[in-house]
Structure 1
Amino acid sequence: MSNQKLNCSTSNPCGRNGYCEKNEHGEYYCSCIFWWSGQICNELTNSGIQVIILGCLLGLLIGVYYGLIIYRMTTRKTQQKKDKQNYKFSIGIKFNIHRSFYVFISLILIIASSGLIIKWFMIQSIHNIIVDQYRHNLSLFYKPHGICQVINYRKTNLIMFPMSCLLIFIFAFEYKRILFGAKQYSDCYFLPVPIDFFTNINRTFVAVTFAIAANELLEIANEAFSDTYSFNNGIVLVYLQQIFKVLLMGFRYYPILAAVCIDSKLSLLLGTFYSWIELPMTILEQGLCQPRYYENAQKINDTYLNFLFEYYGTGSFLLIIDLLTDIPRYACLSYIIIELSRRIGKKFLYEIKTDYLTQEEKVLLNALQVNSVEMMYLRNLFQSNKRVVKSNQWIYEWRNDFRFSSRILCLYSLIFLFLYFFLIQVCVQVLPYMIELQQFIQNSINSFRGNQSIHSIPVLVRPFLLAVLIGSSIVVIQLLLLLVSIRRNLFQVYRGDQSEIPRRNRSNYKTYAIGNFHFAGYLIAYVLWGLVLIISFLFILLVFIDIVITFSLFYIIELILKHLIPVLLIAYFKVYLNKFLARFAFLQDDGDVLAMNNRRTLMIFLYFNFFLDAFLGLFSSVGRLLKSVMGGILYMCRLDYSPLGRKLESWDDGFNAYCGFIHTECTHRHPILLLFTAYLLDMNKKKSKPIAITNPLAISIDVTSKNEEEIRKRRRRIIQKWQMIVFLIRNPLFVFYRKAYFKQFHFVENHLAQWRNNVQVTQMMLRRLNSV
């Protein structure tokens, strides 16, 4: 409202409820915010009074609702303490660090630091050459060393690839010899298995080996999607070349994994020798042949290097970033060298060969140990139902009755290092282009307004770095929650609970197998794509907030909130009113029983609520769309979550891959199954051993102990039957997997088979149905 007496040059007469502005005639007036009015914005409108009253009623309703809930919970807890005893049950693990662990870590740090120092001196000379060319306005490239033509990894690595193939060939003969010693004869020679993904042995070593490949996988993917890559030979041939490079990367680390899996003196000795060659070859390859930020004569990209030098300068910043990126890789290579050396030393010094067992048999018989994971799981099944599991962990707690398979640890180690390399490269390579993006946005605003803008666009570097930090934190938390979800779903499937994972169906076995194939690759791609989406969304949101603050565009926010707040107050008032009525008025026992009270009042309420919710449903539909978009972005890296819902979750390839993985893990890693199989194998091994009695007195002792042995067997059978009864009572779905059930099912099926094709019986059934 304009007023000629207002003067805003010395003070603000509008107060905190308005802004003093000028109109077209040069007169001052007060522009009131929200629901204020009047010449100096000191009066509330009717809408403002109504909003305040509705907000107070909503606050009162929320306070009463949660107050009653807290009161009922406290009274119930006090009553339970009087009636029942609280059993404490611990499933956590206490970690003890041995002194040799510190020696092990020290050796890793020494080897990794030595490798990084050697690489520093190698790339320092290349950096000086490039900087000198930059200062003299020359083409920015370096001349590779002559050895790079031999060890160039992009051209099949002529040193490591033949060596890896030779070791694989030797390991095939070594594995054949081990099978012959274990009396498992076969006429064929098989490739040694590098890793058994269904076991939980050597998990740390395998996970570290997989983590090394994260950087190489990122480089191959970056090269495949790079604009500078030549597609003259055809796009299919280009992608086949990238696939061939991935296979070469697999051959490079195949001997290391196979040596540990075979676990013989020859395999460990050759694997240790191969790992000691791998580290210097990696240093030479990255230090002389393929520096991360410098190009050779075959790939000259002056524009890219000019951007980096203009933004970061010609100092040692790029060298430091290069070394920081390689710290995890060199630490992992050092761990492999020290671990293989430790194993081969232990093999030669302390091992005493007793029984000829294959690695698979050793892993299976390990389940019979008293402190094995399978034994702990079986022991916890027979704990009291009154136990209360105490856990102080926020997200994840280590349990003594569960271990993730090697596949999960390999996948997570690769993903975390992949995110580490990806975030560093994104921050280093994208930040120089933020200046150009900022200038482009500023020029677009200036051209739209027709003159120079009063305010300049805020710097985009700060919102980008903040978006990267928040986005990476969200993805890491989601991955940790996915670990909890995997363990929970495996426990559910173990006991036959299909509340979250669809029930296993015989017709979908091929789908489960295919999903199990895709699980690891899909999770890597979904995590990367989810990180990009979250960072992009947060970057746009933070830039918008920064622009609103810089340009003082608060009136836009005020206009949106002015129309949004009344709608939200009415909607939430209706939501909490429904909660209050449902829990304390219409449900029995305060909502603990799904049985209605006050039936007549409920029918009247449903009648009027029938028409009222039709209008609230319009706002709910908009919220449903926004929630689905936000949930799809935030949960993109979670394969256990399907944004399509329960009815359409079978259309989600990621969720199908997760279900296939869970069902496959349950089939091959069920603790009860492993214990039963290990028990049978142990009994078979004991029976196959020849027993020779040389002492004559042992014969009489054996005869007298037969009666005691029979008594023990009877007692053992009784105990097993009682344990089976308790197990089936607590896991009723396992009744359908027992042999007796299948025999009875086939008997009934065969008995009814003769009546299926009987025409007379069919006609009689139709007549009876028609007469009803």
Structure 2
Amino acid sequence: MSSQELTTEDLTSNFDYYDNWYMDGPIGDQDDMTPEVIPDCYPTIPYDIYHACMAPISLVILLILSLMVKRKKLYQSCWNGAPGLLSPIHFLEEEGNRGLAIAVFGILFSSLCVLVLDNDPLPFISNSSTQYREYWKIMALLYYPAFYYPLVACATVRHRVGYLFGCLLSWCHCVVYLWQKVECPQSSKIYRYYSLLSYLPIILCLLFLSLWYPMQLVKSFRQKEKTAVDEGPWSDCCKGYLRNILAKRAPKRSSSIAKPSIRSRVQAYLRSYIYTPQEDFQLPLKLVLSLAMAVIAVYQVALLLLVAFVPNIQIVRSGMTKELTALFVQFGLVPSENPAGIPGDKELATAKHYIWSVEVCFVASLVISCLLTFCMLMKALVKHRINLQRLYRGAILDVFHRPRKLQASQQALVCWMCFAGFQTAFSCLGLLIQHIVFFVCALGFTFLVAIPLQSGTNVHLFKIVENMWPFWLTLVVAVIVQNLLTHYYFLERGHLPKELNNRRALYIVTYLLFPINVLVGVLAGVWRLVVSALYNVVHFCRLDVSLLGHGVEVFDPGYRTYCYYLKIEVSQSHPVMKAFCLLLLQRHDSQGPKSLQLREMEEGVKLMKTKEQASKTAKCQQNRARWGLAYTLHNNPSLVSYRKGALPNVTANGMKTNLVANA
């Protein structure tokens, strides 16, 4: 009996054990449900030590470069010739070094994107409390621009020493980042490879700087030093732009106006979304920089959305069991053929298919949002060039809807400084809003149209449409009847211009169809709401398009910033004005006794005659130079407001005494 009792107890205990294991154990496969635990990784060069070493080195390099460039060379009365802080980028004066500016700003913006989700925003302060974390993030917004400042300031000096320091800084930054990511490619934050993918723009930009600075250093040894006037491609661009303006154009031949074909229309429409470089014309540096930062911002936001949703939804789909499926069956989300409502293998497969459909909708909407954002940015590039060219030739009303003065002002300068930041922020918000809207639309289409057509269940939408067929038929017939009566009965055919006919019948039909037109107006109002919402969502990232009407476009901060940005760029960086300045400052090397030299520059330029008689070729060149100066002075938008016709209270012989004194 004892042995039997023990055997029974053992069986009971074993039964309880298996029963408890089934009830209390994890649902589904343990490997699928539980994500792999990523151990903490500590690189050889931690972030705090890296910043503690590189920050003083960067500060010392910046001080050395500042001592090299004497302030007295720029402003003799400023601080008695003391050294000053180097300018990072000449946004208005030159258009060179675009790759350098994009790389440094890309490093800075990507670093700020990373620190937003980091628990320790400042590398010097670890394990920061939640109470003071927001303060440290504000400090980080000031620290990182100063930390990467020498990377761009080394190129501003345009000296071999600056290029050498740039090589050392870029190599140090690049080696440290690569070393850290090779040692610790995975992290436990959001997704195992999120840290690596988020740092990818930083690494690529540092690799570019690591190659750009050595190339500039080698060029400085191979080539002779150039003057500030001849250095950079922007001088050739401005001269080419002026040459195209002064070039003789062949008269336009009169041609018969032919209606373009559908193929040509489609090609022209597609070409409007593709920016092709134009000879002797370059977009402003800050405009190219803002669009490049918008692309990096789209990448960072899309990466965050992707890694935050897809791995989690895959874990849920792989851990779906019959017990969880029973909840979906009870709420009617998953159809069940079993009258008792007990889910089987078919219901489980259906639930997994639904979750997979949600994942597909999320990824598809994200891809569509990214593609649309890139298309809008490319379209904006084409529109920027058109607007700049129109303003360069003075066609203000073709760009703005009311007359504007192309002059610098306080509000215009503030908007010019904020333009790149606004473009980056609007691109992030535009992508996020687009993704939410397209994801909801994709879910609605999938679960209301696609899946019911595939499975034949949950056809509630089709039943509603089927029951309302008399309503839809009435609206369609009413619209068709109005169009047919208008075409054949209410308008006289064969007369140009067309005149109204049968007005009494027109009034009767208008009165009788008023209730039906109200219903048609409801549908038209819904369509108007959908179209306007989609238009604003798609064009949200574009600052050159106002999302409001012409009368209230001033309340659109993005479009207002763009308008003021154009005013500063045109008034301060007009290519004709740049060409005029180049003609003033340029010196021709003397290659013979008959060549001309620029002897003096006082209140413009004085072309002095040589001692010997100038040849006809020299006189022709002199006349061309004078004509170029006169033409640039005439078309300089910065001088329009100072001309006699624009100045108030001018005398017959010119300006008053006080105006001349102020000038």
TM-score normalised per structure 2? 0.69
Instruction: Spell out the pairing of 1:344-355 with structure 2 (5 A cutoff).
Output: 344-348=217-221, 350-353=222-225
Distance 2:577 2:489 in 1: 49
Any conservation in 1 of the 2:43–2:180 contact (CA below 8 Å)?
no
| Aligned mate of 1:144, from 25, 42, 48 | 42
Q: CA deviation at 1:337?
A: 1.3
Q: Say which SS state the counterpart of residue 290 (structure 2) adopts.
A: helix
Question: What amino acid does structure 2 have at the position aligned with 1:550?
Answer: I
Distance 2:34 2:438 in 1: 41
Any conservation in 1 of the 2:640–2:646 contact (CA below 8 Å)?
yes
Any conservation in 1 of the 2:289–2:420 contact (CA below 8 Å)?
no
Any conservation in 2 of the 1:471–1:535 contact (CA below 8 Å)?
yes
Alpha-carbon displacement from aligned partner over 1:568-615 (angstroms, at most 9, x marks no partner):
675588689989999997997xxxxxxxx3456599999789877874
Distance 1:565 1:576 in 2: 16
Distance 1:149 1:620 in 2: 59
Q: CA deviation at 1:399?
A: 0.5
**Which structure shows the higher helix fraction?**
1
Question: What amino acid does structure 2 have at the position aligned with 1:176?
Answer: K
Alpha-carbon spacing, 1:587–1:655, altered in 2? closer, same or farther (3 Å): farther
| Aligned mate of 2:381, from 476, 483, 488 | 483
| Aligned mate of 2:162, from 245, 267, 273 | 267
Distance 2:98 2:415 in 1: 23
| Aligned mate of 1:525, from 404, 425, 429 | 425
Alpha-carbon displacement from aligned partner over 1:427-461 (angstroms, at most 9, x marks no partner):
23311222577779967753434956765334222
Q: Which residue of 2 aligns with 1:407?
A: 286
Distance 1:700 1:514 in 2: 46
Q: Say which SS state the counterpart of residue 562 (structure 2) adopts.
A: helix
Does 2:359 align with 1:461? yes
Alpha-carbon displacement from aligned partner over 1:260-282 (angstroms, at most 9, x marks no partner):
12211111111112212111222
Does 2:457 align with 1:556? no
Distance 2:110 2:355 in 1: 34
Q: CA deviation at 1:716?
A: 7.8
Q: Which residue of 2 aligns with 1:419?
A: 298
Does 2:371 align with 1:504? no
Q: Which residue of 2 aligns with 1:687?
A: 599
Any conservation in 1 of the 2:58–2:150 contact (CA below 8 Å)?
yes
Q: Which residue of 2 aligns with 1:49?
A: none
Any conservation in 1 of the 2:89–2:156 contact (CA below 8 Å)?
yes
| Aligned mate of 2:171, from 276, 280, 291 | 276
Alpha-carbon displacement from aligned partner over 1:696-719 (angstroms, at most 9, x marks no partner):
xxx998364499988987798789
Question: What amino acid does structure 1 have at the position aligned with 2:385?
Answer: R
Does 2:87 align with 1:193? yes
Q: CA deviation at 1:745?
A: 6.8
Alpha-carbon spacing, 1:433–1:514, altered in 2? closer, same or farther (3 Å): same
Alpha-carbon spacing, 1:665–1:138, altered in 2? closer, same or farther (3 Å): closer
> Gaps (5+ residues) in structure 2?
1-31, 256-263, 334-340, 589-596, 603-607, 656-663
Q: CA deviation at 1:740?
A: 3.8
Distance 2:104 2:609 in 1: 58
Question: What amino acid does structure 2 have at the position aligned with 1:499?
Answer: D
Distance 2:235 2:435 in 1: 48
Does 2:159 align with 1:250? no
Q: CA deviation at 1:254?
A: 1.7
Q: Say which SS state the counterpart of residue 169 (structure 2) adopts.
A: helix
Distance 1:498 1:414 in 2: 30
Q: Which residue of 2 aligns with 1:166?
A: 60
Q: Say which SS state the counterpart of residue 625 (structure 1) adopts.
A: helix
Question: What amino acid does structure 2 have at the position aligned with 1:333?
Answer: L
Q: How many residues align?
A: 561
- The answer to which of 142-151 and 397-406 deviates more is 142-151
Alpha-carbon spacing, 1:256–1:536, altered in 2? closer, same or farther (3 Å): same
Instruction: Spell out the pairing of 1:584-663 with structure 2 (5 A cutoff).
Output: 597-598=497-498, 615=518, 617-663=521-567
Distance 1:507 1:405 in 2: 17
Q: Which residue of 2 aligns with 1:336?
A: 209
Q: CA deviation at 1:258?
A: 1.3
Q: Which residue of 2 aligns with 1:702?
A: 611
Distance 2:180 2:42 in 1: 10
Q: Which residue of 1 aligns with 2:101?
A: 206
Alpha-carbon displacement from aligned partner over 1:665-696 (angstroms, at most 9, x marks no partner):
11122122222222233379933499xxxxxx
Any conservation in 2 of the 1:644–1:652 contact (CA below 8 Å)?
yes
Alpha-carbon spacing, 1:433–1:701, altered in 2? closer, same or farther (3 Å): closer
Question: What amino acid does structure 2 have at the position aligned with 1:702?
Answer: K
Any conservation in 2 of the 1:640–1:655 contact (CA below 8 Å)?
yes
Distance 1:582 1:483 in 2: 47
Distance 2:58 2:585 in 1: 35
Q: Which residue of 2 aligns with 1:694?
A: none
Does 2:573 align with 1:669? yes
Q: Say which SS state the counterpart of residue 549 (structure 2) adopts.
A: coil
RMSD: 5.1
Does 2:274 align with 1:374? no
Alpha-carbon displacement from aligned partner over 1:343-363 (angstroms, at most 9, x marks no partner):
111212x2324x7x4x4x456
Question: What amino acid does structure 1 have at the position aligned with 2:398?
Answer: S
